[in-house]
Amino acid sequence: MGKKQTTNAIFNSNDYYDIFEQDLVEAEHEIVISSPDISHNKVERFINIMKARQEKGVKVTIITENPDNKLTGNPVYLLELIQQLRGVGMNVGFMDNVNEHYAVIDKSLVWHGGMNLLGKADVWDNLIRVKDAGAAAELLEISFSSVKMDEVEFCEDMGVAQE
């Protein structure tokens, strides 16, 4: 594997994806993504990108808005996307009011901001990319204190308390 990228940068919807994708490809243990909204194109691309990493043992967990509570979009369609993610071995959990948009890679690299990483990006969305294990732990703690992970098994070393 080549040299890893440097961190600490701010990105917008036009310039984040190549670097974000490279971070996904470089993951060694686990990826947690909180994306309130998901879309077919991004889910399909994510599944294709993650296949080789999952074969190497990387665990993937997605947190998204409960499709039954969505005011827009087709809940059946969203459930089909979730089933696609689960069908390739990814953990998917629901929250009733997902407010966080982030990715945590290997408990240390954080992408955080206003962008749905697995959904439609808006031109005014920004993300910050930092390597900070403390920020990663805090984001995971906030999310997993209220997420509903029905029929989902976690990687044992996820590092957050499970109820």
Asked, for residue 21, whether it belongs to a domain, the answer is yes
Across the chain, where does the E strand assignment appear?
A: 9-12, 30-34, 59-65, 91-95, 101-105, 109-113, 126-131
Predicted local distance difference test score (pLDDT) of residue 71: 64
Predicted local distance difference test score (pLDDT) of residue 4: 63
The CATH number given to whatever domain includes residue 16 is: 3.30.870.10
Asked, for residue 43, whether it belongs to a domain, the answer is yes
Asked, for residue 44, whether it belongs to a domain, the answer is yes
How many CB atoms within 10 Å of residue 105?
Answer: 23
Predicted local distance difference test score (pLDDT) of residue 2: 58
Consecutive sets of 10 residues in the chain, 163 residues long: mean pLDDT of each?
66 91 96 94 96 96 85 82 96 84 96 93 88 94 71 40 37
Predicted local distance difference test score (pLDDT) of residue 70: 65
Asked, for residue 97, whether it belongs to a domain, the answer is yes
Asked, for residue 33, whether it belongs to a domain, the answer is yes
Predicted local distance difference test score (pLDDT) of residue 149: 60
Predicted local distance difference test score (pLDDT) of residue 156: 40
Predicted local distance difference test score (pLDDT) of residue 1: 53
The pTM score is 0.84
Asked, for residue 126, whether it belongs to a domain, the answer is no
Asked, for residue 58, whether it belongs to a domain, the answer is yes
Question: What total of structural domains would you count in the chain?
Answer: 1
Domain span at 56: 9-107+138-144
DSSP state of 148: B
Asked, for residue 131, whether it belongs to a domain, the answer is no
How far is 135 from 141, CA to CA, in rounded Å? 10
Predicted local distance difference test score (pLDDT) of residue 67: 85
